[in-house]
Amino acid sequence: MENRKSKITLYDIVAVGLMAAVVFVVTMFLSIRIPTPTGTTMIKLANAFVLLCGLLLGPVRGGLAAGFGSMLFDLMTPEYAPEAWITFIRFFLMAWLCGLIAYAAHAAAKKFSRNLIACIVAAVFSSVFYMVKGIVELMIGGSALAPAFVSNIPKLLTSPPNTIIAVVVAMALYPALRKALDSTPFAHHLAHNGTGQ
């Protein structure tokens, strides 16, 4: 029985591919790019869909969808392409953490308070990851910690709005998307294979 539940199915691949495409499209077209001295940052709606990957598909499938969708955007944007692998890790972990909390203790992402905590924790984690990455990059280039932190402040200013937007939009859209998904035979196949996996 466990082996059957852990098997990757065509439904898993389709679900991951579909949500990865959504994350890619939202990142590409629903974001505001802001140039800074240390590179371009963005105010974007995509982080909400990264959280929705975790809520709708669970930690592993959600993580893969978020990671691949975000990485694909980077690979198609020359400025970001060299960091595509870091982007995959960041957004995989963001969706994975959201899904892990939302599905823990058999909650199955059906408890509002747990889902809200999952979204907040995952969104804050992503912001911290982004901040640390920027500082480490400058320190590898020879900067001291304090100047590296100061240089990243313009980029960091986008983190609070991105975090708030992500949590609010994900929590607002999730009930309708969950209901729509659960009304399809597709959801039965995902659930049969263990949505929280």
Residues in CB range of 51: below 8 A, 6 or more apart: 94, 95, 98, 118, 119, 122, 123, 166, 167, 170
Residues 139, 151: contact at Cβ < 8 Å? no
pTM of the predicted model as reported, rounded to 2 decimal places: 0.82
AA letter at 124? V
Q: Would you give the end-to-end CA distance of the chain in angstroms?
A: 14
| Residue 194, pLDDT score | 46
**Which tokens sit at 147?**
């100047």
Low-confidence ranges of the chain (pLDDT < 50): 1-4, 192-197
Residues 76, 83: contact at Cβ < 8 Å? no
Class of 2-122+161-192 per CATH?
mainly alpha
Domain range annotation of the chain: 2-122+161-192
Task: Please state the separation of Cα 24 from the chain's center in Å.
Answer: 11
3 state DSSP class of 40: strand
| Residue 163, pLDDT score | 87
Burial (CB count within 10 angstroms: exposed 0-12, middle 13-18, buried 19+), residue 60: buried
**Where are any strands of DSSP class E within 13-134?**
31-36, 39-44
AA letter at 72? L
Distance (Å, whole) CA 136 – CA 10: 39
Residues 80, 177: contact at Cβ < 8 Å? no
